[in-house]
Chain A
């Protein structure tokens, strides 16, 4: 380092100067043995913890009720690769070419079990309100679980919808079905393009949505269906998050005025209970089936045609050990700045580089680089080794696309790097080692702990905490999205974050940028 004589150094000298500065900060980090050892030990312990977690048994216990699919060896996968539930009652006929089916839904009612009998005898039933019970028209590409489909349906309390391939969902008319206000539904097929329409009176129709099912065979099964997901009863909201039991429900729908146009061969209707063999999701004493009386069909079904979000383990659940590496990085990051003040080294540092903002930048770059590398190695090792281990011990791990896996691994490493910058910046602001470490741990770890780890905060407040605090960035590791069309407990304590992955990451980046800006300002203003 040389003293800068000119008040306006050339750009060239500036760049070289910054490279020197980076090298100086790297040397400072490298030569403090405690820091290097801390980061390496934390990285190794993180990997061990990840393997330790993947050793555990994550399978949903079988006591959660008949609607749970705990006996599945593996859940079926939909066309998009996601795990799905594909269980409903189907009254169908083959459709060999283009054509359409029109139907009037006169009623949709659901029942559930009221109380359980200890002897396993038939429990009595009672009417239930199931918001996502479904009944309507469906065209499926094949009989196997997870086949492509397109459907138009009425739901318990979410109006008419067109849904396709498990994840697709478009709303139509609002309001629920009753004898006074029935719903007319129509599904038309032209090649591999399927359109869904709805109408309140059977004369004025509105198109809800058009779906393309690529490679649809010329002969498909089409007809009426009914299904109803088990409703989860909140039984307790304990310190360790909320737990619930799934209660089976059935939906019964009445269809009439069935109108067929196009390529429907002359066969009769067939009733099929589409399900995984051996699983009976029905209310005890109830059977799936249909009755035909004249032109009226009464169809009873149970289950769901939707992504599965409750029966498997998402890959990100292995990453809890990363908090160990994160704590180490935060402690080192805080000290990286505050140690200079304690030892008086800051005066030499600032004398060597009078442009103080650059010192801060160099420190942030060096520490975030080190943290990124350590966290990347740890998270990649945990996931690449942990997932096969978890599957090997009989757990069902939700499949994730390569893109999602990369986002979880690299995103987590990037998050740790951003947190490291946050710690360096807070160190420059507070200048006090213990205070900085406490502040940064409280800002980063405590919000996650209170909302997810031990979940003392109620769900609504927890969502807000994870939207506005630096802990929002943990959303980057969420591997399974929350689906609005599947009722489940999408709370932080079930690994669901209120913000989308990159949005949460952006909140953390904003905190780090804010802290960095304040730190640069104070570093320039204050005496060292």
Chain B
């Protein structure tokens, strides 16, 4: 396992695209978050906006870059034929997947932490000037605040789980483009269908099972009783999707010819 970890770390580290993708994920997350915070205004202080959620809007974009990184980590090997060498070196194929997952998760956790902290910092600086701050009756965006800490920590975990979900899907599908289309389609399509479904009950159920809709409830810090699913349970739903995808990917990797 240690050898595999080292091998996967070397492969990912030496790809020029890895650094650029991680940089893009962090930069886009922070940029969109800051833009969303700058665009939000609450002159009377009476809006039901959630300051932490606004400050973390960029995750919606950042997750797409993280998904690309995770998908290329395995699909790239199929594209170049490298996978055959990898499997010859480590005949226990599940070990490879586990090593890839560990290395990816580690990289995304580090990048995600930086992106989330910078986003919250930007939100904490911008929002009070726009009528959403402690002086207007909103919770302050500070790491000392329990729900904000949960939103920050949870958003980092969210990104890592998206990476694992994408890795599992890519291992199962092998085609990079199909995998990324499947993952982003799953993430983005469910909220759109839930939004259009006329039946409120049905829409709520869709939000409870969608990996993005459920997972991102971890960002909620206000009006928690109106959420379709509680923050940690929502992240649990995403974790279940990620584990399911990894198991399916692992099983297919084990069964199929490379």
Whether A434 touches B188, Cβ cut-off 8 Å, given contacts A237-B48, A456-B36, is: no
Cross-chain contact B67 with A453 (CB below 8 angstroms): no
Whether A334 touches B177, Cβ cut-off 8 Å, given contacts A238-B48, A460-B39, is: yes
Cross-chain contact B47 with A442 (CB below 8 angstroms): no
Cross-chain contact B49 with A446 (CB below 8 angstroms): no
The B30-69 residues at the A interface (CB cut-off 8 A) are 35-36, 39-41, 47-49, 53-54, 57, 60-61, 64-65, 67-68
Minimum CB–CB distance from A335 to chain B (whole Å) comes to 5
Minimum CB–CB distance from A73 to chain B (whole Å) comes to 18
Among all A-B residue pairs, the 3 with the closest Cβ atoms:
A56-B198, A320-B196, A331-B181
B197 interface hit (Cβ, 8 Å): yes
Chain A residues within CB distance 8 Å of chain B: 34, 49, 52-58, 236-241, 313, 317-318, 320-321, 323-324, 327-328, 330-331, 334-335, 338-339, 342, 395, 433-438, 441-442, 445-446, 448-450, 452-454, 456-458, 460-461, 493
Give the nearest-CB partner of B198 in chain A. Answer: A56
Cross-chain contact A434 with B189 (CB below 8 angstroms): no
Q: Which residues of B contact A454 (CB under 8 A)?
A: 191, 195, 213
Cross-chain contact B57 with A434 (CB below 8 angstroms): no
Cross-chain contact A457 with B72 (CB below 8 angstroms): no
Cross-chain contact A434 with B180 (CB below 8 angstroms): yes
State the CA gap A328–B188 with chains docked (Å).
13
State the CA gap A75–B175 with chains docked (Å).
52
Cross-chain contact B36 with A438 (CB below 8 angstroms): no
Q: Which of A236, A320, A436 contacts B195 (CB 8 A)?
A: A320
**Chief secondary structure at chain B's binding surface:** helix
Cross-chain contact A238 with B223 (CB below 8 angstroms): yes
State the CA gap A315–B173 with chains docked (Å).
37
State the CA gap A438–B61 with chains docked (Å).
10
Q: Which residues of B contact A53 (CB under 8 A)?
A: 193, 196-198
Q: Which residues of B contact A442 (CB under 8 A)?
A: 61, 64, 184
B185 interface hit (Cβ, 8 Å): yes
State the CA gap A331–B188 with chains docked (Å).
14
B75 interface hit (Cβ, 8 Å): yes
Give the nearest-CB partner of B179 in chain A. Answer: A434
Q: Which residues of A contact B179 (CB under 8 A)?
A: 434
State the CA gap A454–B223 with chains docked (Å).
16
Q: Which of A52, A436, A453, A458 contacts B40 (CB 8 A)?
A: A458
B19 interface hit (Cβ, 8 Å): no
Whether A433 touches B177, Cβ cut-off 8 Å, given contacts A456-B53, A458-B40, is: yes
Cross-chain contact A446 with B198 (CB below 8 angstroms): no
Cross-chain contact A441 with B64 (CB below 8 angstroms): yes
Cross-chain contact B64 with A446 (CB below 8 angstroms): yes
Give the nearest-CB partner of B220 in chain A. Answer: A239
Cross-chain contact A434 with B177 (CB below 8 angstroms): yes
Minimum CB–CB distance from B173 to chain A (whole Å) comes to 10
**Known A313-B198, A328-B181, A338-B177; further 18 A-B contacts with Cβ < 8 A:** A34-B175, A52-B197, A236-B48, A238-B226, A339-B177, A395-B198, A433-B180, A434-B176, A435-B68, A437-B177, A442-B61, A445-B184, A446-B61, A446-B64, A449-B192, A450-B57, A452-B195, A454-B195
B178 interface hit (Cβ, 8 Å): yes
State the CA gap A350–B194 with chains docked (Å).
45
- Jot down 30 A-B pairs with beta carbons below 8 A, ordered by A: A56-B197, A57-B199, A236-B48, A237-B47, A238-B223, A323-B189, A323-B192, A323-B193, A327-B181, A327-B184, A328-B181, A335-B177, A433-B175, A434-B72, A434-B179, A437-B176, A442-B184, A445-B184, A449-B60, A449-B191, A449-B192, A450-B60, A453-B192, A454-B195, A456-B53, A456-B54, A456-B60, A458-B49, A461-B35, A461-B39
B237 interface hit (Cβ, 8 Å): no
Cross-chain contact A437 with B184 (CB below 8 angstroms): yes
From A57, A238, A438, A446, name the one whose CB has the most chain B CB atoms within 10 angstroms.
A438
Q: Which residues of B contact A239 (CB under 8 A)?
A: 53
Give the nearest-CB partner of A236 in chain B. Answer: B48
State the CA gap A238–B178 with chains docked (Å).
33
Cross-chain contact B181 with A49 (CB below 8 angstroms): no
Minimum CB–CB distance from B156 to chain A (whole Å) comes to 19
State the CA gap A241–B191 with chains docked (Å).
12
B202 interface hit (Cβ, 8 Å): yes
Give the nearest-CB partner of B166 in chain A. Answer: A434
B104 interface hit (Cβ, 8 Å): no
Whether A327 touches B64, Cβ cut-off 8 Å, given contacts A236-B48, A342-B79, is: no
B26 interface hit (Cβ, 8 Å): no
Q: Which of A54, A240, A321 contacts B193 (CB 8 A)?
A: A321
Give the nearest-CB partner of A495 in chain B. Answer: B196
State the CA gap A56–B184 with chains docked (Å).
26
Minimum CB–CB distance from A431 to chain B (whole Å) comes to 12
Q: Which of A339, A395, A438 contacts B180 (CB 8 A)?
A: A438
